[in-house]
Structure 1
Amino acid sequence: MLTIRARRLFDGRNMHHDRVVTVANGRITAVTGPGGAVAGQGRPGMVDFGGGSGVPSEIVDLGDATLLPGLIDCHVHLAFDASLDPLAGLEAPGLIDRMREAARRHLAAGVTTVRDLGDRDFLALRLGLGAAGPEILASGPPITTTKGHCWFLGGEADGEEAVREAVRERARRGVHVIKMMVTGGEMTPGTHSHRRQYGAAELKAAADEAHAHGLPITGHTHCAEGTAYALEAGFDSVEHCSFFTEDFIEVDHGLLARLAASGIVVSITAGLAPAAAPLPPRMLHLLPALRESLRALGAARVSFVIGTDAGIAPVKPHGVLPYGAQMLVEHGFARLDVLRSITSTAARHCRVEHRKGRIAPGFDADLVAVDGDPLADITALHHPMAVFRQGRHVSA
């Protein structure tokens, strides 16, 4: 059994002070305050658990730290290596081993659950890391049109029936979410971020088939039209939700109001880590407008989580989620909302809210302790003092 003390505890919803968390068999068994039974009873090195059972306990006193639920990154690509040419690594031997190492980098940053939204050959379902890495919720290869965005991952499907069969295949393989490329993207030559790849009938077919199998569906969409089509098709969430036009970015405030009213979740791919490699010229040109669209998302009060798109470029290394949280705060999002977006809100979005994203009895003992108070200074998330996965102290 493990007992953890910290000056502050963010339980996934609110901040508390001077709490003690008890862990056994990979689960949280109790959370008590000052003077509580766990904190105050039993001889040194022991805690009174289960009516005075005297079960030996390791005690970790974190001092002036904040204990949080393990963080959740809702959009990563473990198959991409965050290099200048992330596609090259797909062809090199040892891809699954590199994916395992990428996953471990997330864990070292305090991210105990990741949602992989695009791999090759469904490898993310086969990593088998256990407590040595984050829990992985995976989509497999994203569904895309022939030669569409990320076609090289192997998810090409055209027409309603082919799209339905692609969803059924993923359900048979045990994916946790369906990912569909509603628009083109920056990574794939010949596709365009401001253009849709699928029509309304195909998108609705995919959403209906996903829901028939009890799976959520999310759509990669970089333009207003694509986002509107995903919303109308019944998608559960959209990734990016940027507002690309052929030449620039133009925020559709009416669409943002519709998103906020609908409750559909926007997975904001925020976070740029300091990197030696500069942004490509096109992205440097668009960055100010992208930042304004981020502010507009915050002002519209859409339901949101953070999915960093980790792996796609040097500024998106694996483990970049703390920079995503920092970026949102810097663009006007409330710190409390941001902390919830990477813990309890993310867990609900990923359909693991019954065991992830909270510090409460019965939940998985996936925890991160940071130096300082992230409600006062969000950059405290950059300084993990300890990471626990399934109740095991695994990092820092």
Structure 2
Amino acid sequence: MRTNPVLRVAAHAHGNRAVLDAVEAGVDTLEHVSFLTPEGCDPSDEVLTAIAGGTVFVSGTLGADPKAPGTPPMAIAAQLGRIHAGYGALHARGARLVVGSDAGIAPFKPHDVLPHAVAELRGLGLSAGAALSTVTALAAEASGLGDRKGRNRAGYDADLLVPEGDPALDAAALLNVAGVFRSGVRVR
């Protein structure tokens, strides 16, 4: 007999008030969390504290391929450094950070930008292990699949990406894929 899975609730929130409202409503994940205000980017202490003190996951919009054509809109591009600093501040406070890339939204965000996000997170102060877990174990947990995906353990689905090189030493190794396995079967 198949049981219905628990549905996860995600809020796409940018500004401080929207983020606080979503946290107070009890959403599971916050997408974007850019801290944008009419004046720019302002990661308020109230928002950082509310997120870090709760159980919500922050799905930060990360991942930029320097070879991709185009650029983000000027309003966002001008604030990227502060947005990323906000993600770093969230991590430093113990928030549960995962990566949401917004891949495919525009030419400057092609579908293969996720590996670039791991390197960006390293630049924000995350250790190699913490950065990798944002796209593996924590991402699976945020999606409600943490009991069977996101880890290389007995009893878990054997969905694996095998890079050439060690991404714990060099995040760029994730860009050089040697193999992909789904349920233990090689697909690439």
Q: Same-fold call, TM > 0.5?
A: yes
Other-structure match for 2:143: 350
Equivalence for 2:49: 257
Partner of 1:87: none
Between the aligned partners of 2:169 and 2:69, the Cα distance in structure 1 is 29
Q: What secondary structure is seen at the aligned counterpart in 2 of 1:333?
A: coil
Alignment of structure 1 residues 43-58 onto 2, 5 Å: none
Residue number in structure 1 paired with 2:83: 290
Change (3 A) 1:375 1:227: same
Name the residue aligned to 2:9: 217
1:44-76 alpha-carbon deviations (Å, 9 max, x no partner): xxxxxxxxxxxxxxxxxxxxxxxxxxxxxxxxx
Deviation string 1:2-49 (CA, Å, 9 cap, x unpaired) is xxxxxxxxxxxxxxxxxxxxxxxxxxxxxxxxxxxxxxxxxxxxxxxx
Q: For residues 349 and 278 of structure 1, do their structure 2 counterparts lie closer, same or farther at Cα, with a shift above 3 Å needed?
A: closer
Q: Could you give the per-residue CA deviations for residues 215-269 of structure 1, whole angstroms, max 9, x where no partner exists?
A: 1211000001001001111111211111111131111122212211112111111
Amino acid of the residue matched to residue 97 of structure 2? F
Compare CA radii of gyration and give the structure with the larger one.
Answer: 1
Contact 2:52 2:90 (8 Å CA) reproduced: no
Whole-Å separation in 2 of the counterparts to 1:333 and 1:327: 9
Q: Map 1:63-102 onto structure 2 (within 5 A).
A: none
Hey, what's the Cα distance between the residues in 2 that align with 1:367 and 1:328?
21
Partner of 1:269: 61
Q: Give the Cα–Cα distance (whole angstroms) in 1 for the partners of residues 61 and 8 of structure 2.
A: 18
2:162 paired residue among 369, 372, 394: 369
Q: CA deviation at 1:326?
A: 1.1
Query: How far apart, in 1, do the equivalents of 2:163 and 2:13 lie?
Result: 34
> 1:335, CA displacement in angstroms?
1.4
| Displacement over 4 Å in runs of 4+ | none
Tell me the number of residue pairs that the alignment of Structure 1 and Structure 2 aligns: 184
Q: Cα distance, 1:293 vs. partner?
A: 2.1
Q: Which has the higher contact order (CA 8 A, sep 6+)?
A: 1
Offset at residue 281 of structure 1 (A) = 2.4
Q: Percent identity?
A: 36
Shift in Å, 1:309:
1.1
Return the letter of the residue paired with 1:265.
F
Instruction: Decide whether aligned partners of structure 1 residues 331 and 218 sit closer, same or farther in structure 2, where only a CA change above 3 A counts.
Output: same
Post-superposition offset of 1:280:
2.6
Task: Specify whether residues 229 and 323 from structure 1 end up closer, same or farther in structure 2 by C-alpha distance, changes over 3 A only.
Answer: same
Structure 1 counterpart of 2:100, one-letter code: G
Q: Residue 116 of structure 2 aligns with which residue?
A: 323
Report the 3-state secondary structure (helix = DSSP H, G, I; strand = E; otherwise coil) of the residue aligned with 2:53: helix
Tell me if 1:335 matches 2:125. no
CA-based RMSD of the aligned residues comes to 1.7
Please give the alpha-carbon distance, in whole angstroms, between the structure 1 residues aligned to 2:146 and 2:71: 38
- Give the Cα separation in 1 of the matches to 2:75 and 2:129: 33
Residue in 2 that maps onto 1:387:
180
> What is the identity, as a one-letter code, of the residue corresponding to 2:62?
A
How far 1:331 moved relative to its partner?
Answer: 1.4
Alignment TM-score, normalising by the size of structure 2: 0.90
